[in-house]
Amino acid sequence: MRFLSLLVLALTMVFATPASAEYGDVVINNFSDAAGMRPVVFPHWFHRVRFRCKVCHADLGFQFKAGGNQINMLKIIDGQFCGACHNGELAWSVENCNLCHSAKPKTATHVHESTLQKLAAPPAAAASSTALR
């Protein structure tokens, strides 16, 4: 039975398709395209149910804006940003790039399915755009 479980796990890892962003995930593509890597899909709610906001946004210095941080692999390896936890002791290390770099190439930095993306333009902006016609 254990062999079968390991076989299923191995086949899943071999034939797995790239992850797609789900509601609330943050897609980060500040430097990925330029480096020839897929953008990062950061599962915000997966982390949020385990840690209070202050752990990342106060203690580790993440800004409250998608794309607001200048995260790169050198900083992560140096223990900054994601690297504070993803160091091989608390959470997995950076050796398996595809665990994080799993978005479709050329995907812009954004919060996936954010409510802000679905809001209508404020009335003043809508009025000024019709006045220009």
Helix (H, G, I), strand (E, B) or coil at 113: coil
Considering the domain boundaries, does residue 128 fall inside one? Answer: no
* Residue 84 one-letter amino acid: A
Considering the domain boundaries, does residue 46 fall inside one? Answer: yes
Considering the domain boundaries, does residue 127 fall inside one? Answer: no
pTM: 0.67
* Residue 103 one-letter amino acid: A
Residuewise pLDDT in 10s, the chain (133 residues): 666 555 554 544 444 445 556 678 899 999 999 999 999 999 998 999 999 999 999 999 999 888 899 999 999 999 999 999 999 999 999 998 999 999 999 999 988 776 555 555 566 655 555 555 5
Considering the domain boundaries, does residue 121 fall inside one? Answer: no
Range of the domain at 93: 15-115
pLDDT for residue 66: 82
Tally of domains within the chain:
1
- What span, in angstroms and rounded, lies between the C-alpha atoms of 87 and 73? 12
The span from the first CA to the last CA of the chain, in angstroms, equals 70
The domain that holds 29 is classified in CATH as 3.90.10.10
Structural contact between residues 94 and 76, judged by C-beta atoms closer than 8 angstroms: yes
pLDDT for residue 112: 76
Considering the domain boundaries, does residue 106 fall inside one? Answer: yes
- What span, in angstroms and rounded, lies between the C-alpha atoms of 97 and 82? 13
**What sign has the CA pseudo-torsion 3, 102, 48, 72?**
positive
